[in-house]
Amino acid sequence: MVESLRILSRDRVALELLVAVALTALVVGQWGVTFPLYVRNVLGVPYSLLGIGLALNGLIVVFGQSATTQSVLGRRHTTIAILAIGLYGVGFLGLGIAGVLAFAPVVAFFAAVAVLTIGENLVTIPQNTLPSNLAPAEEIGSYNGAFSMVAGLGGILSVVVGGAVLESTSNPLLIWVLLLIPAVPAILLFRHAATRLSPVVDRA
């Protein structure tokens, strides 16, 4: 384990991507807790429709992941990650605007579910494949473990961040603007890492 950590600590591109993954997890994690709280308490969507929307998320994941993966084969993993973050941004900001305007909250909710789930399908591709591509042959397990750990910690921290933001402001758009702040450095890090990765390593 010590040797694996030493190898990883010397891999500057991997460390850069680890930070990008952690920041991405702070954004993606809002989908799990903050999203349903906001939809119910701010948009006023009833529990029955919230359940239907979350079921729709599951259906899109189950039946759409394969098609999503096929559609991006040959693209760069870093580009896929940036696109996924962008979709989370569109979905979350759309919810914020719908909350400010008090306009068609149910429509905004279902549209956000569709957009966010496509983002979810996309973001799993680089998270599950890029660490293996980066790693030396004998360190594939340790690289995948490190990336999974960082993503998990980011997801846990996202709950704390989401709760703090919900406590700090009642402005619907500001809520999502604040929660999307980590997306900016995440995108910049993925873009910078793309210039340092060989096309073979970065290719889906």
Domain boundaries, the chain: 20-195
| Torsion angles phi and psi, residue 157, rounded to 5 | -65, -30
What's the average model confidence in pLDDT over 47-54?
Answer: 91
* Tens digit of each residue's pLDDT (9 = 90 or more) over 128-149: 899 999 988 888 888 889 999 9
Rounded to an integer, what distance in angstroms lies between the CA atom of residue 107 and that of residue 97? 12
Residue 142: both structure tokens together: 């340790």
Q: Residue 102 — very low, low, confident or very high, per pLDDT cuts 50/70/90?
A: confident
pTM above 0.85, yes or no: yes
pLDDT tens sequence across 87-101: 999 999 999 999 999
Question: Residue 7's Cα: distance from chain center in Å?
Answer: 27
Q: Is the pLDDT of residue 187 over 80?
A: yes
Of the listed ranges 23-27, 71-75, 81-85, the least confidently predicted one is: 71-75
**pLDDT for the residue 143:** 87
Q: Given this structure, which CATH class describes domain 20-195?
A: mainly alpha
From the list 164, 44, 34, 50, the residue with the least C-alpha distance to 88 is 34
Whether 4 has a pLDDT exceeding 90, the answer reads no
What are 172-183's pLDDT values in tens digits?
999 999 999 999
Q: Is the pLDDT of residue 67 over 80?
A: yes
